[in-house]
Structure 1
Amino acid sequence: MSPARNDGPSPPGARRLVGPVRPLHAATLLVAWEQGQREGPVERALTLLGQALPETPREVLAALTIGERDGLLLALRMGMFGPTAPCVVGCPRCDETLELELSLADFSLPPPVETESVIRFEGLGLGVRAPTSQDLLEVRRAGDATALAAALLARCARVTEGAEPGALVPAHAAEAVAAEMARLDPQAELRLELSCAACSIDFSTVFDVVAYLWQEVETAAQRLLLEVDLLARSYGWSEHDILALTPTRRRAYLRLTGMA
């Protein structure tokens, strides 16, 4: 039995409408960076993908599951900055700094076979679907973490059997629903399992691909703005002309000015 639809968008099929990710070039990177200055993390993720997938409507990107979205962001990151990601993590027990280099391909999973299902809970059938960016945008003003989780539960899960169809899921079913959401969308949370050499504690932490990629985009944007400023001052070229140069040519001209 198919789960009852709820207020949120339904992601099945959205993945098929998304083409291959294109790395951002200088001009599109600056466009994404400028727009992202006014946005939160969820909107930034969609803005980056919007520049990498210009033929895909934003609402289609917003209807992807979080794991599908983050899989595309991983592909974008690898295409722009390479397959490995240096990270620094603090030990939660002794504050020792752990330096590691992640192979991002290890986090790339195939698209989920299904993004909706029905589970049984205390005699009820519960229709569950994996959350999307649109869901996160809709619930972001819910309040604290508890209220946010309740709002997300209301959007992504409804009763299908054993009570009035479409009724809200009981609050005490939240853990079971969350487990099913994680099963439906395993790439939604990229978790690192680590061990501290200093105090021998084993711990885990989440790799936030949106935050990580955005930090790299900000760094790259600031470097680009500096290059534009220096070359414009030296040669009188416009921003458009400078950004149209390949990175190799921009660096070569900067060396000629003695500023590289």
Structure 2
Amino acid sequence: MAYTIEKKDKGYLLFTITRSEKRNAINYDVMDGLAQAISEAVRPDIKALVITGAGEQAFCSGGDLSIFHSLHTKEEALPMLLKMGNILYSLLTLPKPTIALINGTAIGGGCELAAACDFRLAKKGIKAGFVQGKQAITTGWGGGSILAEKLPAAIAMKLLIDAELNTAEYLYEAGFIHYLYDGDSVEACEFYLEKMLAKEQAVLEAYKKIWIEKWQESKLHERMMQEINRCAVLWESEAHHQYVKTFMEKKVHKD
């Protein structure tokens, strides 16, 4: 199993990507698990959804190129990109608080997953970045459009265009990370969530709907789909294929 879904005693759902040997990269199984967790989080006994990665090295290293490297053309890549984009929109518009518990490195699509959550908590010393630009593509799951909703334009644009790994401390100052912690991830998360989980669920849902309605009004889903289509065009470019080839060759030598 590529993931676990656990209901915690304090009333939230914990989704963990359990592919630490792959730096918690997202494959189709993880996508299906996320969709399942989002649908389970709607239950009346769940007050929040927390997403994290197994181990201490990585939160999520984005899409698993060892799986997706076989997607060469726009037509081949688009279904995968759309599938995850729609999952992220479902996560974004879940009528409960959502938390990315960034316990290790977050790269590329891992940052898109984190961006789709309402709150981002990061372990001190980790690094994260929207590195897709270095892969000759853009954010492929709608994460750029999501980031544009959540950060000032110049800050969001610089994070995307620079395509660098940044420290959690830098991202905290930029407003992408909301809380830095040391020690046990789940304990830190429960400390951060304590006041939220003490509220009536109807209150949590009513507040979340303020933002859901805003995103619906601004046609965020439509904008995410347009972003994904633009990424699919870049996906079939020679520059991206060359990046993937180099990545796979390095991986073979490492293994």
Q: TM-score range, shorter-chain basis? A: under 0.3
Query: What TM-score, normalized to structure 2?
Result: 0.27
Query: What TM-score, normalized to structure 1?
Result: 0.27
| Greater gyration radius | 1
